[in-house]
Amino acid sequence: MRVRFLTLITAIVAATYLGSGAAQAQSFYAGKTLRIIVGLSPGGGFDTYARTIGRHLGKHIPGNPTVIVDNMPGAGSIIMTNHMYKVAKPDGLTMGHFNGALILGQVLGQAGIEFDARKFEYVGAAVSESVVCSLSKASGVTSIDQWKAAKTPVKMGGVAPGATPDNSARILHAALGLPVQVVSGYKGTSRIRLAVESGELAGACWSWQSMRVTWRKAIDSGDVKPIVQIVPKPFPDISKVPLAIDLATTEEAKQLIRYGVQNASAYARPFILPPGTPMDRVAVLRTAFQATLKDPDFLAEAKKARLIIDPVTGEEMEKIVADVFTMSPALQAKLKEALYTK
């Protein structure tokens, strides 16, 4: 009887706390505006996901605030992420969406990073990032064998050192010996797509979840072709496209692929709050974010846009990010050489 009584008391106290937190959140968010800042350019995958989520998020936050989405591109989202760390107010009204590959960049001592990823409050992610490299038909490289045999380095689009398109192409060069020239500095994948279509670039590597949506027309027409998947298991819709890990001939090459690209997929697309954001507001936004990803109206829109939804919670993200900082010095040195040595 005593155990049952204590359990009942605990449940009542928890319900009272949660109810109080929800009431406070409603009072705080009512009539306010929540701003989501995307660290990459409009029209790309990060922007597409953020705007789709933003159209539904407000109704799941107590008080139903207005949600707007802005862009702060630059340096592969370093500018926005530094802003979230150093400038943005920790009041629960500013959320950031950045390229999580920069978390690995912090571990490796990448220049320009002024944030500590371990101190952000993680809201969650709508999807992991499973990387595929695609090239244009006009480039003359339509298979992995043709890429291997290329007489000159194949120009692949990049955003900035440490960003997914840059890291992925460099890892393929280091691990598989593919001839690659990373042309960096594009404001996002939407700009890279335009450069490929104009013949300025041969192709690029980024999330298939995004690429299959934003580059769908060119892929369906055959003007752009997936060449290699940097994933542990092939996607069903491109099952015949080879896996990079299967092409690796040494354990060191496999480690570079796993830790440089594959393992980074779970933390690649985080939504964050500034350090110091009150935990009751963090909890409210985490709950609202996950509720949005289950919302039938949101899911219908995501399906129509061909967006893949594979949620990661904020709590899971915290643990994954903490684990990145336990990487051995020897592996760090290998990755640093592969990603930052010209």
Mean pLDDT of 10-38: 70
What band does 161 get if pLDDT is binned at 50, 70 and 90? confident
Please work out, in degrees rounded to the nearest 5, the angle formed at the alpha carbon of residue 243 by the alpha carbons of 238 and 249: 165
The pLDDT of residue 16 is above 60: no
Mean pLDDT of 280-301: 97
The pLDDT of residue 13 is above 50: no
Mean pLDDT of 135-139: 97
Weakest mean pLDDT among 11-25, 38-52, 181-195, 198-212: 11-25
- Whether 2-128+266-338 shares its CATH topology with 131-264 is answered yes
What band does 128 get if pLDDT is binned at 50, 70 and 90? confident
Q: Report CA torsion sign: 177, 181, 183, 184.
A: positive
What band does 23 get if pLDDT is binned at 50, 70 and 90? low
Overall fold of domain 2-128+266-338? D-Maltodextrin-Binding Protein; domain 2 (3.40.190)
Residue 22: what pLDDT? 57
The pLDDT of residue 210 is above 70: yes
What band does 5 get if pLDDT is binned at 50, 70 and 90? very low
What is the residue-averaged pLDDT of the chain? Answer: 91
CA dihedral 226→227→229→233, nearest 10 degrees, is: 90
Q: 């690995």: which residue's tokens?
A: 104
What band does 173 get if pLDDT is binned at 50, 70 and 90? very high
* % of the chain residues with pLDDT over 70: 92
Instruction: State the DSSP string of 271-328.
Output: EEE-TT--HHHHHHHHHHHHHHTT-HHHHHHHHHTT-----EEHHHHHHHHHHHTT--
The pLDDT of residue 21 is above 70: no
Weakest mean pLDDT among 117-121, 196-200, 208-212: 208-212
CATH superfamily of 131-264: Periplasmic binding protein-like II (3.40.190.10)
Mean pLDDT of 306-325: 92
**213 vs 155: which has the higher pLDDT:** 155
Whether the full predicted model's pTM is greater than 0.95, yes or no, is: no
Extents of the domains making up the chain: 2-128+266-338, 131-264
What band does 117 get if pLDDT is binned at 50, 70 and 90? very high
What number of CA atoms fall less than 13 Å from residue 239's CA on the CB side? 2
The pLDDT of residue 15 is above 50: no
